[in-house]
Amino acid sequence: MWGSSESHNPGLAGGQDASVSLGVERSLKGRPWRMRLDAAGEAAALAISQAHGLSDTVARVLAGRGISQDRAAAFLAPSLKTDMPDPASLRDMDKAVDRLADAVQRGEKVAIFGDYDVDGATSSALLFETLSGLGLSPEIYIPDRLIEGYGPNPEAIDRLVDGGAQLIVTVDCGATSFEALQRAQERGVDVVVIDHHQMGAELPPSVALVNPNRQDDISGLTNLAAVGLVFMTSVALLRELRRRGDRRAAPDLLRALDLVALGTVCDVVPLTGLNRAFVAKGLISLRHGGRPGLVALAAAARLTGPVETGHCGFLLGPRINAGGRIGEAGLGARLLTTGDAAEAERIAATLERLNAERQAIEAEAVAEAAADTEAAIARRGATPPLVLAVGETWHPGVVGLVAARLKERFGRPAFAVTFDGPGADGTGSGRSIPGVDLGAAVRAAVAEGILKKGGGHHMAAGITVERGRLADFSAFLEARLAGAVEKALAEDFLKLDALVTAEGASRELFAELEKCGPYGAGHASPVVALPAHRIAYADVVGTSHVKLDLRSASGGRIKAMAFREAESPLGQALLKGRGEPMHVAGTLTLNRWGGQEKVELRVLDAAPA
């Protein structure tokens, strides 16, 4: 059944096994299609449905994501009360809050040193609000990406100390900043590090280093973004002040969950466990719209309807990032902390302009990088395990985006590196695919002396490399990661949650699927396939998107969009397939426009019918 009215739940099919679905052994993205649920999964879905009185739709989504019958109820109702462990389970958390509580009670000048991305901006803003709410006047320092690079540097430390800082707290950075933290120690100023990036066994000098990814931390919270760690630190700080008998008014941390949700989604950490609770509760705060900066940014981005995770990742996040990429690094944090609506509108307008400039810069760099990569593949005769593109004039602020686009286009881990002049070092960024740990490989390259600097996590990394070592770095990555890439590609198939018709892709089905949200990294939106739907309309919109009108054999109709696919084999096949039947797979979205709500398809893949 393909979602006809004969099925138990209109729009969703059951009874499929994990063999090839719709006969697709190799799609236009080069992948086989499989149903997510095998026979055991079907049985688990039935058990979940019967035990909890849930619809077949919800039960199948839960079973397909490994949610057992006894965990189903809790999964559908994420709660900080049940999902957040004692912050003290994190190594050094007690030391961190002890020093922060001292600063609060002494009225010290605290400097917050943050990263220039969304996680860094939200982390900085959250700690700023916590300390401000406790009576301090903290300052936020965000380094300039082009001049200072990532993380604390000795010169910035000197400026903060000379400005009167008595305590420096690094957020979303600092775990590998040995030289800078040594400078702070020499200047007699304490540093508390709150970070989540991978690091080695050696620790930089600090009063406390809170990082679930340090090798002696056993909290199990390795998937948290920095903003989640700052939230837990704030909770622990308020508890420590109460323990000391300090009765000052405490800030309402629940109102700050909008920051936690935004930073968590934009840092693309898995939306499972505590992260899922952070985002579920944070979306409620975001929808209440109490923060002037985010209200202004949503208006500038022309966001309509309730804020969803997709809005965080594709509308709000890129605009906040634009300041750190090609403009003033501190704009994002300023936007998030201002209480002045007029100032918020001014900053939002600036970020909107910078984001448009960033898009143009990115498009030019991506076109050059993709063309160079295609040529390199042609010379080699095959796509290498990893893609490495080099530019001489690319803006350093967009190399991460270039790497992400190369990864999407070629289906391999990708690095983009840019050099600013013949004698300059290269600034690079990498993006990985599931199953390939890029951060560990980069740290190993640093240890081998191949890279001057580098760090990151499983899915993303940043590097500084000398021009003469670029070939060595490429060879090192290929030797170290080729096996992992081969394994990941062998296991790369599109998992379908259901077969559905255009008629079955209803508002009711969408509402049922949303009960299992929020969706994001690590908890992907359900993927549905529309079998043998005719492409009634296809055209390019925007810079590189393909807009579609799909129709079923019985006349049902649904609009669809394939983002950034106009030049890809998938996009070209869709554009040339007008009038032809096609199996089309993707995720369902809700388009709210002009007071109407219509379900549409975000295309992920397709195959000739």
- pLDDT per position as a tens digit, 184-238: 999 999 999 999 998 989 999 999 999 999 999 999 999 999 999 999 999 999 9
Looking at residue 147, what is its pLDDT? 87
Q: How confident is the model at residue 470 (pLDDT cuts 50, 70, 90)?
A: very high
Looking at residue 9, what is its pLDDT? 40
Under DSSP, is residue 325 helix (H, G, I), strand (E, B) or coil? helix
Is 3.40.50.300 the CATH number for 383-464? no
Under DSSP, is residue 3 helix (H, G, I), strand (E, B) or coil? coil
- Residue 214 contacts residue 182 (beta carbons within 8 Å): no
Q: How confident is the model at residue 421 (pLDDT cuts 50, 70, 90)?
A: confident
- Residue 315 contacts residue 299 (beta carbons within 8 Å): no
Angle in degrees, CA 410, 413, 417, rounded to 5: 95
- Residue 336 contacts residue 122 (beta carbons within 8 Å): yes
Angle in degrees, CA 78, 84, 90, rounded to 5: 150
Helix (H) or strand (E) holding 557: strand 557-562
- Residue 474 contacts residue 464 (beta carbons within 8 Å): no
Strand duo 167-171 + 110-114: pairing: parallel
The answer to whether the bond into 518 is cis (omega within 30° of 0) is yes
Looking at residue 1, what is its pLDDT? 32
Residue range 506-514: mean pLDDT, rounded: 95
Q: What does the radius of gyration of the chain's CA atoms come to, in whole angstroms?
A: 25
Average pLDDT of the chain, as a whole number = 93
Helix (H) or strand (E) holding 240: helix 226-243
3-state helix/strand/coil string of 77-114: CCCHHHHCCCHHHCCCHHHHHHHHHHHHHHCCCEEEEE
Looking at residue 289, what is its pLDDT? 85
- pLDDT per position as a tens digit, 3-60: 332 333 434 444 444 478 999 999 999 999 999 999 999 999 999 999 999 999 999 9
Strand duo 110-114 + 453-456: pairing: unpaired
Under DSSP, is residue 380 helix (H, G, I), strand (E, B) or coil? helix
Residue 282 has pLDDT above 70, yes or no: yes
Name which of 60-69, 430-439, 594-603 the model is least confident about: 594-603
Residue extent(s) of CATH 2.40.50.460 domains in the chain: 33-77+494-608
- pLDDT per position as a tens digit, 224-247: 999 999 999 999 999 999 999 999
CATH domain 83-251 topology: inorganic pyrophosphatase (n-terminal core) (3.90.1640)
Looking at residue 604, what is its pLDDT? 97
The more confident residue out of 477 and 148 is 477
Residue located via tokens 């400026």: 159
Residue extent(s) of CATH 3.10.310.30 domains in the chain: 383-464
Residue 422 has pLDDT above 90, yes or no: no
Residue range 521-550: mean pLDDT, rounded: 95
For CA atoms 424, 471, 488, 29, the dihedral sign is positive
297-to-112, 290, 353, 594 alpha-carbon distances in Å: 23, 12, 12, 20
For CA atoms 314, 315, 319, 320, the dihedral sign is negative
Residue range 503-518: mean pLDDT, rounded: 95
For CA atoms 377, 380, 381, 384, the dihedral sign is negative
Looking at residue 16, what is its pLDDT? 42
Q: Is 114 exposed, middle or buried (0-12, 13-18, 19+ CB in 10 A)?
A: buried
Residues in the chain: 609
Interaxial angle between packed helices 257-266 and 118-133, expressed in degrees from 0 to 180 and rounded to the nearest 10? 160
The residue type at 388: L
Residue range 110-124: mean pLDDT, rounded: 97
CA distance 150 to 158: 17
Angle in degrees, CA 78, 83, 89, rounded to 5: 165
Looking at residue 153, what is its pLDDT? 96
CA distance 11 to 243: 55
Question: What is the percent of the chain where pLDDT is above 90?
Answer: 89
- Residue 110 contacts residue 138 (beta carbons within 8 Å): yes
Q: Is 164 exposed, middle or buried (0-12, 13-18, 19+ CB in 10 A)?
A: exposed
Looking at residue 34, what is its pLDDT? 96
Residue range 309-319: mean pLDDT, rounded: 95
Helix (H) or strand (E) holding 588: strand 581-593
User: Which residues, 6 or more positions from 163, have their beta carbon under 8 angstroms from its beta carbon?
Assistant: 109, 111, 139
Question: What is the percent of the chain where pLDDT is above 70?
Answer: 97
- Residue 250 contacts residue 279 (beta carbons within 8 Å): no
- Residue 535 contacts residue 548 (beta carbons within 8 Å): yes
- Residue 266 contacts residue 288 (beta carbons within 8 Å): no
CA distance 39 to 42: 5
Angle in degrees, CA 541, 546, 550, rounded to 5: 120
Q: Is 420 exposed, middle or buried (0-12, 13-18, 19+ CB in 10 A)?
A: middle
- Residue 54 contacts residue 73 (beta carbons within 8 Å): no
CATH number listed for the domain at residues 33-77+494-608? 2.40.50.460
Residue range 399-413: mean pLDDT, rounded: 95
Determine phi and psi for 503, rounding to 5 degrees.
-65, -40
CA distance 529 to 22: 9
Structure-block tokens of residue 173: 């950075």
